[in-house]
Amino acid sequence: MIASLRLLLLDRRVHPAHYVLRAWPVAIVPTLAIATVASIVAQLVGADHLFDQSQWGNLFEMSTGMLLVQIILVAPILETLLMAPLLALLVRVLPRRRYAVLGSALVWAILHSLSAPIWGVCIFWTFVVFSTAFLVWREVSLWHALGVTASIHALNNAFAGLGLAFS
């Protein structure tokens, strides 16, 4: 199973749009499972505050349309642009690309945990997929890497954003 996922994520012989559409489920399905387990565990141990949306400031006080624009368009583009130099640095200083992927995912998990503590746990895997996609498509071009990664991220955030906007 892991080998199949690895091959799927490392195969850039497909059209970028096809890659995005097959990589997105690899990102979101495990993330949803992780978030579900984390939520259940948090409820069982009385740590519901780890999911408290009030920690996100005024994010939910804006219009639904503006919220969706920020979550689906702005965040994926901005975070992918910030991911590029981080991955470039990690690839140079770490002995293997997989360590760079894990290091990048860890940095993004920590940054997301600053908004809501459990968020980092929930999105770690997602950023493993994003970082892998970036490095795979970076071998084609920077534009391919940015576009593919931001697109997977946008689909992921669209799913989450629609849930937040209409909850």
Q: Which of 114, 107, 109, 115 is nearest to 164 (CA)?
A: 115
Predicted confidence (pLDDT) at residue 138 exceeds the cutoff of 60: yes
For 16-56, write each residue's pLDDT tens digit: 999 999 999 999 999 999 988 988 888 888 877 666 655 55
pLDDT of residue 50: 66
Tens-digit pLDDT profile for residues 57-101:
555 567 778 888 888 999 999 999 999 999 999 999 999 999 999
Q: Is the four-CA dihedral 85, 125, 59, 76 of positive or negative sign? A: positive
Query: 104 pLDDT exceeds 60?
Result: yes
135 has a pLDDT exceeding 80: yes
Q: Retrieve residue 9's tokens.
A: 């994520």
3-state secondary structure 83-114: HHHHHHHHHHHCCCHHHHHHHHHHHHHHHHHC
Number of domains making up the chain: 1
Which domain does 126 fall in, by range?
Answer: 2-165
Which residue, among 91, 137, 86, 89, has the nearest Cα to 108 in the 3D structure?
Answer: 86
Place of tokens 């059209």: 15
Tokens for 49?
A: 């505050």
Instruction: Identify the pLDDT of residue 59.
Output: 56
